Structure 1
Amino acid sequence: MRIASDAASAICTWPGLATPPGTAETTAASRSVVDGLLVAGTVLVTPADATRPRRRCQGLWTTATVVHRRVPGRAGLDRVAGMEDVRVRYRKYDGALHWHFDALRLGTDEFGTWLGCPAGTVLQRGHELTLVWEEAQVLLVPVDRWWTANFNAEPHRTEIYCDIASVATWHGDELRAVDLDLDVVRRRDGRVELLDEDEFAEHQVKYGYPPDVVAAAEAAAADLYRSISANEEPFATRYRTWLAKVSGPARSPGPDPDGERG
Structure 2
Amino acid sequence: MNKPKLGDEVLIHSYKHDGKIHRSWSKGLVLDANEDHTIVINVKTLVTEADGRVWCTREPAICYFPNHEWYNVICMIRNNGVYFYCNLASPSLWDGEAIKYIDYDLDLKVFPDCKYKVLDEEEYRQHQRKMHYPDELDIILRSQLEELIEMAKTSIGPFKHGFSEHWYHVYQEFKRKEK
Given that residues 186 and 193 in structure 1 are in contact (C-alpha distance below 8 angstroms), is that contact kept between their aligned partners in structure 2? yes
Aligned counterpart in structure 2 of residue 210 of structure 1, from 120, 130, 134 = 134
Picking from 148, 155, 164, the partner of 1:224 is: 148
Match of 2:165 among 224, 235, 240: 240
Gaps of 5+ in 2: 1-5, 173-179
Q: Which residue of 2 aligns with 1:159?
A: 83
Residue 32 of structure 2 aligns with which residue? Answer: 107
Whose relative contact order is higher, 1 or 2, with alpha carbons under 8 Å and at least 6 apart?
A: 1
| Aligned-partner residue type, residue 150 of structure 2 | R
Report 1:1-262 matches (<5 A).
83-101=7-25, 102-108=27-33, 112-118=37-43, 120-155=44-79, 159-236=83-160, 237-246=162-171
SS in 1 for 2:78: coil
Which structure is larger by alpha-carbon Rg, 1 or 2? 1
CA contact (8 A) 1:98 1:125 kept: yes
Partners in 1 of 2:82 and 2:48 — Cα distance? 20
Deviation at 1:194, TM superposition (A): 1.3
Deviating beyond 4 angstroms after TM superposition, the runs of 4 or more aligned structure 1 residues are none
C-alpha root-mean-square deviation of aligned residues, in Å? Answer: 2.0
CA contact (8 A) 1:158 1:185 kept: no
Cα distance in 1 for residues equivalent to 2:97 and 2:129:
33
TM-score if structure 1 supplies the norm length? Answer: 0.59
Give the length in aligned residue pairs. 165
Q: CA deviation at 1:246?
A: 4.2
Identity of aligned residues (%): 22
